[in-house]
Amino acid sequence: MANILAIETSSDACSLSLLFHNSEYHFHEILPKQHTERLLIEIKRLLRLANAELKELDAIAVGCGPGSFTGIRLACSVAQGLAFSNDLKTIQVSSLEVLAKNIYDKFKSEDIVSIVNARMKQLYVGEFLYSEQGLIKANLFVSPIEGFELKAYNKNTFFVGDGCVLIEKRLNKISKNLLVNLPSAKDLLELAKDKYAKDELLDPSKLLPVYLSGEEQWKKA
């Protein structure tokens, strides 16, 4: 199995996971505005805990957003620096998919909507459709809070993310399946394992933050 470091700092959570020699090590703390000071410190601590060196890794995975501008820029730049200096590949994952992955694993819900506070009275939204084989389709877009359409959802839809609190009353009229989670590197690591197995690896220079425009952006799994 590959040795992978996962970095997820798109929210107030500073979240890291390390897979090394088939063992996993995790760090996850809510650290608003402290990511810059703590990220490299906690990466080094996690490596020491695993008795690992960066050059022994196969890849670095990053939750590339959308989310906190500072957080995703930091994660990408740190991952690029570490990957370049240690001749590693990188793995890019949407932080909205990281949120959905947690819900799918726990509840096996087929219809999951990740909602993140984008500030400026807007929401980052990820609509994810799953089957028994995993993710089928994902639709990522930005929506104004007041204009967020709910007619496509039903009582079986699961909503997740800190943006849910901004429209909680409206969501509760449709579904009681609602969790205000933050993205976790543990879930990112699970997605990264699959991408590594499929050879979905990037040169560090191609690892970029994910910014969404107001237009819908479709992608297939």
Give the Cα separation of 45 and 77 in Å (integer): 19
- Contact of 180 with 136, CB cutoff 8 Å: no
- The yes-or-no answer to whether 4-94+183-212 and 96-179 have a common fold is yes
- Paired tokens of 188: 């990112």
Q: Count CA atoms closer than 13 A to 215's CA, side-chain side.
A: 2
What is the predicted pLDDT for the residue at 212? Answer: 81
Give the Cα separation of 106 and 2 in Å (integer): 24
Chunked in runs of 10, what are the mean pLDDT values of the chain (221 residues)?
97 98 98 96 98 98 96 97 98 98 96 96 97 94 96 97 97 97 98 98 96 48 31
- Contact of 143 with 216, CB cutoff 8 Å: no
What is the predicted pLDDT for the residue at 213? Answer: 58
Give the Cα separation of 98 and 191 in Å (integer): 8
- Which DSSP state fits 44? H
- Per domain, the residue ranges of the chain are 4-94+183-212, 96-179
Q: Which CATH class is domain 4-94+183-212?
A: alpha beta
| CATH superfamily of the 96-179 domain | ATPase, nucleotide binding domain (3.30.420.40)
- Which DSSP state fits 110? S
pLDDT, tens only, 61-94: 999 999 999 999 999 999 999 999 999 999 999 9
Q: How many helices (H) and strands (E) does the chain have?
A: 5, 11
Give the Cα separation of 72 and 136 in Å (integer): 26
Confidence (pTM)? 0.94
Q: Give the DSSP letter string of 172-196.
A: HTT-S-EE-----HHHHHHHHHHHH
pLDDT, tens only, 202-220: 999 999 999 885 433 433 3
